[in-house]
């Protein structure tokens, strides 16, 4: 969508055309596209949040969320972004000075660690390579070196949205069990919930953190903590100050489907609709769709000859593909080009990856045609900037999608 100077037929003067025909292609790795069904569900009058109609809504979404987290235990909802739920996870279960183990695996893991520091906790980091999965051997060693069990929590980001690498939560659980270590397991499922299989109870996760704007297909504004009995027990001893983020009043009010303060009623309408959509499609089918779309996206990058940021093919995320810009080209210039010319939004590199990495989100309410459109936008942008391509990524993606869809169309 190039900016063009036009002669305005109404006033006779020239001006820059601002009209953008067609739809915007939102391909950042969250917020993701909000489906029309969810938008329509939100577009209703707000009701009394202490009345009977709200009680039914509250109960429905609180129960529905448990199915998405795959837990039989409570899930609490905050009118906040994911960062709030990070803070809630820490301040409800820990006391100032408590040691929390983080992994050096990406921008979001680092930001969460910063929250822990600000709360007066003692974060410690297992060094790693952002491009690779977290090191379970290093975790096992650190747990073995903690005979007094001073580490109170291990915090892992399931899907590092900044790097496009998915980390093995089940293996973190196994390492804790093998070491018979009582630390709480906290998992950031912000960009995995509803897109990549996340199993709260099976992996014995104590606190999960998630947010509305990714796999749940909602606008930003809600975040979640899924809990375990052990996390609830830890809350009774935790001394970190907390008021707004306290799970206690939430859980009490949630019993009746209510909230301890004014909830985001209209986002909860949207959440009810989004949960219904996930259930209609079936979670397994939702995950399979994300896997299929990721296969198509990767085929495109391979054909173009662009380098994936994640070096381990088995750990590449099915919700976001992060790629490295070729030497001499800047990622933000590519993003600016595709936005201005083709109305396509891509994610930029975060923190130390700024300019070097570009991220294509393929999560949430998305299908093959939307992905193909975004890939076409990238191919056009690469061509516009003279970035060398080995072959057409779009053609390769279409071929990969055809193969992936073959069983469904047989």
Give the binding site for ligand PLP (CB under 6 A). 30, 81-83, 108, 157, 161, 188, 190-191, 211
Q: At what angle are helices 265-281 and 52-69 packed, to 10 degrees?
A: 40
Alpha helices in 217-365 (DSSP H): 229-235, 247-254, 265-281, 283-304, 331-342
- The 3 state secondary structure assigned to 253-266 is HHCCCCCCCCCCHH
Q: How far is the CB of 211 from ligand PLP (least distance, A)?
A: 4
Q: How far is the CB of 212 from ligand PLP (least distance, A)?
A: 8
- The residue among 140 and 222 lying less far from ligand PLP, judged by its C-beta, is 222
CA 410/CA 408 separation, integer angstroms? 6
- The residue among 222 and 404 lying less far from ligand PLP, judged by its C-beta, is 222
The answer to whether residues 74 and 207 touch, using CB atoms and an 8 Å cutoff, is: no
The answer to whether residues 339 and 345 touch, using CB atoms and an 8 Å cutoff, is: yes
Residue 8, SS3 per DSSP: coil
- The residue among 35 and 164 lying less far from ligand PLP, judged by its C-beta, is 164
- The residue among 77 and 211 lying less far from ligand PLP, judged by its C-beta, is 211
CA 389/CA 302 separation, integer angstroms? 10
Q: How far is the CB of 159 from ligand PLP (least distance, A)?
A: 6
Q: How far is CA 357 from CA 7, 109, 159, 280, in A?
A: 39, 17, 17, 36
Q: How far is the CB of 108 from ligand PLP (least distance, A)?
A: 4
- The residue among 274 and 397 lying less far from ligand PLP, judged by its C-beta, is 274
Q: How far is the CB of 224 from ligand PLP (least distance, A)?
A: 11
Q: How far is the CB of 190 from ligand PLP (least distance, A)?
A: 4
CA 263/CA 58 separation, integer angstroms? 10
- The residue among 89 and 387 lying less far from ligand PLP, judged by its C-beta, is 89
- The residue among 331 and 347 lying less far from ligand PLP, judged by its C-beta, is 347
The answer to whether residues 204 and 226 touch, using CB atoms and an 8 Å cutoff, is: no
Neighbouring residues of 395: CB distance < 8 A, sequence distance ≥ 6: 303
Which residue's CB comes closest to ligand PLP?
82
Q: How far is the CB of 22 from ligand PLP (least distance, A)?
A: 27
Strands 151-157 and 184-188, by their bridges, are parallel
Q: How far is the CB of 89 from ligand PLP (least distance, A)?
A: 11
- The residue among 157 and 299 lying less far from ligand PLP, judged by its C-beta, is 157
Residue 372 structure tokens: 């193909």
């Amino acid at each position: 969508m190039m900016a063009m100077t036009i002669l305005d037929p109404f006033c006779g003067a020239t001006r820059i055309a601002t009209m953008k025909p067609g739809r915007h292609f939102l391909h950042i790795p969250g917020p993701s596209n909000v489906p029309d069904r969810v938008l329509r569900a939100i577009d209703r009058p707000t009701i009394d949040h202490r009345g009977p109609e709200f009680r039914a809504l509250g109960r429905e979404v609180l129960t529905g969320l448990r199915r998405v987290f795959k837990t039989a235990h409570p899930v609490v909802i905050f009118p906040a972004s994911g960062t709030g739920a990070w803070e809630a996870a820490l301040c409800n279960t820990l006391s100032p000075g408590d040691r929390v183990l983080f992994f050096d695996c990406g921008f979001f893991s680092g930001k969460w660690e910063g929250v822990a520091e600000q709360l007066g906790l003692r974060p410690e980091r297992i060094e790693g390579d952002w491009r690779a999965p977290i090191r379970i051997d290093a975790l096992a060693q650190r747990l073995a070196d903690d005979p007094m069990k001073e580490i109170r929590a291990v915090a892992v980001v399931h899907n590092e949205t900044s790097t496009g690498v998915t980390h093995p939560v089940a293996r973190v659980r196994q390492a804790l069990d093998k070491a018979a270590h009582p630390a709480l397991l906290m998992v950031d499922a912000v960009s995995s919930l509803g897109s990549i299989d996340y199993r709260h109870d099976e992996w014995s996760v104590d606190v999960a953190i998630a947010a509305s704007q990714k796999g749940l297909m909602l606008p930003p504004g809600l975040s979640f903590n899924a809990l375990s009995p052990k996390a609830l027990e830890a809350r009774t001893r935790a001394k970190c100050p907390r008021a707004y983020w306290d799970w206690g009043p939430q859980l009490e009010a949630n019993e009746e489907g209510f909230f301890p303060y004014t909830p985001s009623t209209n986002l909860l309408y949207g959440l009810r609709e989004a949960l219904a959509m996930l259930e209609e499609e079936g979670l397994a089918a939702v995950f399979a769709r994300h896997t299929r779309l990721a296969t198509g996206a990767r085929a495109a990058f391979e054909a173009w000859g662009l380098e994936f940021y994640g070096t381990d093919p088995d750990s590449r995320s099915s919700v976001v593909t992060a790629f490295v810009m070729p030497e001499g080209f800047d990622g933000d210039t590519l993003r600016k080009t595709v936005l201005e010319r083709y109305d396509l939004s891509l994610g930029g590199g975060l923190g130390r990856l700024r300019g070097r990495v570009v991220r294509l989100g393929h999560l949430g309410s998305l299908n093959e045609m939307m992905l193909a459109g975004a890939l076409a936008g990238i191919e056009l942008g690469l061509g516009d900037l003279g970035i060398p391509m080995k072959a057409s990524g779009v053609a390769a993606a279409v071929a990969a999608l055809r193969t992936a869809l073959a069983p469904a169309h047989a």
